[in-house]
Amino acid sequence: MQNVKTLFLASALALAPLAVSAETGRAIIKGTGPDSNIEGEVTLTDTQSGLLIQGSLKSAPPGLHGFHIHEFGSCDDKGNAAGSHYNPTGAPHGHLVTDGLTKAHAGDLGNIKIAEDGTGSWLYTLPDLKLSGATYTAAGRAFIMHENADDFGQPTGNAGGRIACGAILTIKPQTALDSSS
């Protein structure tokens, strides 16, 4: 019986690297103003199709708001420390989801629609982005929600001030055998 247990444990350990989940990330979105109640969460998952971005917000002003990945992962100074739109190749402003990387900044996610009750959600898969370890990466950057709609004008969409921000952090992948959290 001992040999069966040893064989089972050895087999499980040999397969453990196959049980590692895809790299994931998370951004906790908070309003940039002192009296803002905006909050939300975005999860990012590397998939074979690209970077899957899922998110939701609440207590946000109704309407369309520009929502972009900015170049630095800091929300200090009311979101201004996040820098400009993430644009490593100098592409024109556009809508990454529909235009692709040759016609849009790598951080151009377009607009999020906030309902009258202050809630909004989205789901994108961005084919050429990864969380980390690729030419176009999201980890270490920040999501910014702007006060107005992105009109896709040049150079940055005329979306106005930054009303919410969340730094994009990676989450350590765990194996099926890893019991720590």
Helices (H) and strands (E) in the chain, counts: 2, 9
Question: Has residue 102 been placed in a domain?
Answer: yes
Decide if 120 is inside a domain: yes
CATH number for the domain that contains residue 116? 2.60.40.200
Q: Which two tokens stand for residue 174?
A: 């765990």
Neighbouring residues of 122: CB distance < 8 A, sequence distance ≥ 6: 53, 54, 55, 56, 67, 109, 112
Q: Flag whether 88 is in a domain.
A: yes
- Mean pLDDT score, 110-136: 92
Chain segment 62-113, per-residue pLDDT in tens: 999 999 999 999 999 999 999 999 999 999 998 888 888 889 888 999 999 9
pLDDT of residue 17: 39
Indicate the pTM of the whole model: 0.82
Quick check: is 13 in a domain?
Answer: no
Range of the domain at 65: 23-171
Residue pair 125/51 in contact (Cβ under 8 Å)? The answer is yes
Residue 9 lies in a domain: no
Domain-located, residue 160: yes
Has residue 143 been placed in a domain? yes
Domains identified in the chain, total number: 1
Q: Is residue 12 part of a domain?
A: no
Q: Output 90-97 pairs: Cβ under 8 A, ≥24 positions apart.
A: 92/154, 92/155, 93/152, 93/153, 93/154, 93/155, 93/156, 93/157, 94/152, 95/150, 95/152, 96/126, 97/124, 97/126
Helix (H, G, I), strand (E, B) or coil at 98: helix
